[in-house]
Structure 1
Amino acid sequence: MVRAIYPGSFDPITYGHIDIARRASTLFDELYVVVMENKKKNYTFTVEERVEMVKECLKDIPNIHVDTFSGLLVEYTAQKNIDVVIRGLRAVTDFEYELQMALANKEIRNGVETIFLMTDKNYSFLSSSLVKEVASFGGKISQWVPEFVEIMVRKKYEKHAK
């Protein structure tokens, strides 16, 4: 059984993330979509909210497991006996950072391979930051996130506006 992990902050999850998860789920027996928690980052959504959004958006894919983790990614891969890390790439600028991370992960835990999946051209510009910025100004985001996520994003920015 080949297991892979697709880690991210998913703050919030977008159609770009969903596309990568769906495609990766067809390549492996099990795919762990893991909402990572980095204490040094400032998130808009709590880890519980992010997990809720990810679970809702991927609930129709039977071989996906949604989880959360705080720590080194390779620690999680060792705990779950996962040897493949999935990373989505939008542009060349993503590659530089992701290559550094892939090499570091392999150095820390020999045997961990990283597979890069190119994003669908329709999502090559899309990021969670863009979704949040547009939403914060009341702009339309329904073309970038599922309705469930849009509702959660709108609620978050309504609270901030009060």
Structure 2
Amino acid sequence: MRALFPGSFDPVTQGHEDILRRSARLFDEVVVCVMSNPNKTGRLPVEERLDRLRAAAAGLSNVTVDSHTGGLLVDYCRRGGFKVVIRGVRGVKDLDYEMPMARMNHELAGVETLFIPAEPAMAHISSTLVTTMNRQDPAPER
């Protein structure tokens, strides 16, 4: 069975990499796809995100990397024949955000969403947090 792991991956985090590896063990084929959201301004160019995902997928023979601009996730699922979407969740807040989209994807295209909980050691990691931390000046030396 094929599964789709979509996201902005801006930037790719260790949490994303963990979900990708775990997904690759569950499915015959996993496509990790950088989705462009017209309501978000990407910090990293899409090609850089794709390169980082390809590096994360190195050694996972059943994983391919793609990107999708314009159009809904369900459009990509229909074209690719995906019946399962993978979403990593760190906690209840993520689940509350993801559930309405999962319901809509199911209603529109019959796509099921598999929620994979983050490993506890990585549950605090988010792309937003990583980006914020990278922008801050280094701590003064003592």
Contact 2:9 2:49 in 1 (8 A): yes
- In the aligned structure 2, how far is the partner of 1:131 from the partner of 1:81? 33
- In the aligned structure 2, how far is the partner of 1:77 from the partner of 1:31? 12
Q: What displacement does 1:13 show? A: 0.4
Match in the other structure for 1:109: 109
Q: What displacement does 1:138 show? A: 3.9
The percent identity for this pair of structures is 42
Trace 1:126-137 onto structure 2 (pairs within 5 A): 126-137=125-136
The number of residues matched between the two structures is 138
Match in the other structure for 2:121: 122
Trace 1:9-158 onto structure 2 (pairs within 5 A): 9-70=8-69, 71-110=71-110, 112-139=111-138
- Structure 1 runs of 4+ aligned residues shifted over 3 Å read none
Q: What displacement does 1:107 show? A: 1.1
1:61 counterpart letter in structure 2: L
Match in the other structure for 1:153: none
Q: What displacement does 1:38 show? A: 1.2
Contact 2:8 2:34 in 1 (8 A): yes
- In the aligned structure 2, how far is the partner of 1:95 from the partner of 1:88? 9
Superposed CA offset, 1:96-142 (max 9, x none): 111100001011112x11110000001111001111111111459xx
SS in 2 for 1:26: helix
Instruction: Give TM-score, length-normalised by structure 2.
Output: 0.93
RMSD, aligned α-carbons: 1.2
Contact 2:2 2:28 in 1 (8 A): yes
- In the aligned structure 2, how far is the partner of 1:125 from the partner of 1:72? 28
Q: Which runs of 5+ in 1 are unaligned?
A: 141-162
CA gap 1:133/1:139 in 2 versus in 1, 3 angstroms: farther
1:126 counterpart letter in structure 2: I
